[in-house]
Amino acid sequence: MSAPIVRVAGLHKSFGSLEVLKGVDMQINAGEVIVVFGRSGSGKSTFLRCINFLEEPTQGTIEVAGRSIAAGIPTRFRRKQVQHLRRTCGMVFQQFNLFPHMSVLDNVMEAPRRISTQSAKQVRDHAMSLLADVGLADKAAEYPIRLSGGQQQRVAIARALAMRPQVMLFDEPTSALDPELIHEVLAVMRNLAQDHSTTMIVVTHEMGFAREVATRMCFFHEGRIHEQCEPEQMFDGSRLPETQRFLDAVM
């Protein structure tokens, strides 16, 4: 068995006196698709943001692709590790956060262009093939404002993939979209999941998606993983009361 690609151990996060994460442990094997769900304020976004150190954990260790960072290590001693983390983990947010002054293609090329050892042509070819994968090759020259929300989110996914991340973090990527645009974004994510080359952690309440592609579902409750299991068991109706109540409410 290969070592887990993501290892979260004893993760705590407080904002002042508010303890948001109260000890989260998670090990994820390469190719797994983890769906995280739970009530608003249960710490789902904070959990994702701690994984790539967009938030500084108060306590605990994050290890991704063989390199670990412990909370509390002074910034100057861990710059390289954080850089490695950010490159290894692509992130897609609820709000697409595209650069408005850049074309779709430039949005996708921006990061690899800055750091990569690839030639300009390689960066461009890769970006174009990612845009084709998300069904937007014909929009390469457009500006984000001229795209629908679903199209913008697909560009955001292509942009995150441009760094060839081993792990993709999705924070409610469809919850800002009109219902008729959700399916096109989920379709792109489903393709990515079924490809098995990218490990995914997806915060979402799209239970159909979870049932179809998740290898594991984790219910967050009050800053802890309250319950986790495979989707089949999750939906079979014998869950802990808090989990069941939440599932009943969203389904």
Ligand X SMILES: Nc1ncnc2c1ncn2[C@@H]1O[C@H](COP(=O)(O)OP(=O)(O)OP(=O)(O)O)[C@@H](O)[C@H]1O
Binding positions for ligand X, rule: CB under 6 A: 15, 18, 20, 40-46
Minimum CB distance to ligand X smaller for 42 or for 152? 42
Minimum CB distance to Mg ion smaller for 50 or for 147? 50
Plot region of 223 (φ>0 → left; ψ -120 to 50 → alpha; else → beta): left
Minimum CB distance to ligand X smaller for 96 or for 140? 96
Least distance from ligand X to the Cβ atom of residue 21, Å: 8
Exposure pattern of 186-209 as b/e (b: 16+ CB <10 Å)?
Answer: bebbeebbeeeebbbbbbbbbbeb
Minimum CB distance to Mg ion smaller for 24 or for 140? 24
151 binds, among Mg ion, ligand X, none (CB under 5 to 8 A by kind): none
Least distance from ligand X to the Cβ atom of residue 202, Å: 13
* Amino acid at the residue 124: R
Least distance from ligand X to the Cβ atom of residue 11, Å: 12
Stretch that binds Mg ion, among 44-52, 73-81, 183-191, 227-235 (CB under 5 A): 44-52
Report the alpha-carbon distance of residue 87 to residue 165 in Å, rounded.
6
Strands (E), 16-58: 18-28, 33-38
Minimum CB distance to Mg ion smaller for 63 or for 206? 206
Stretch that binds Mg ion, among 14-22, 31-39, 45-53, 131-139 (CB under 5 A): 45-53
Least distance from ligand X to the Cβ atom of residue 39, Å: 7
By CB under 5 A, name the one of 37, 42, 45, 136 that touches Mg ion.
45
List phi, psi (to 5°) of 191: -60, -45
Cβ-based burial of 105 (10 A; exposed 0-12, middle 13-18, buried ≥19): buried
Give me the residues paired with residue 218 across strands: 36, 228
Separate counts of helices (H) and strands (E) for the chain: 9, 10
Binding region for Mg ion (CB under 5 A): 44-45
